[in-house]
Amino acid sequence: MNHSELEKVSKALGDKTRLEIFEAISCRDSMHCGDIVAMQGVTPATVSHHLKVLEEAGLIESHREGQFIFRCALPERLKEYTAALAKIGSGRKRSRKH
């Protein structure tokens, strides 16, 4: 995972609402937007925005079933993210030039 991807995932999970949404989706096989709106108490447009950010970061994916779009978590992406952070954390720090 490159630094750009690390930034996207960090940004996606760095927001309290998105983290809560991701956690809720991760606890189930899948969720549709209506369930997330009811859980969060925010507007569908706000939930849609948060879902877009999570999907762009590769943390969730969507699939259509009839009129509903369901989201499911992609645990493999989270494993890649934590492995990349562990690699950074275990390496030597770069010297900063002033």
What are the domain boundaries of the chain?
3-88
pLDDT over 50 at 92, yes or no: yes
Q: Using 50, 70 and 90 to split pLDDT, how confident is the model at 93? A: low
What pTM value is reported for the model? 0.86
Q: Where are the beta strands (DSSP E) in 1-98?
A: 31-32, 60-65, 68-73
Nearby residues of 66 by Cβ (< 8 Å), 6 or more positions away: none
Distance from CA of residue 69 to its chain's centroid? 17
Token readout for 2 is: 């490159």
> What's the CATH class of domain 3-88?
mainly alpha
> Is the predicted pLDDT of residue 97 greater than 90, yes or no?
no
Q: For the segment 51-78, what is each residue's pLDDT rounded down to a tens digit?
A: 999 999 999 999 999 999 999 999 999 9
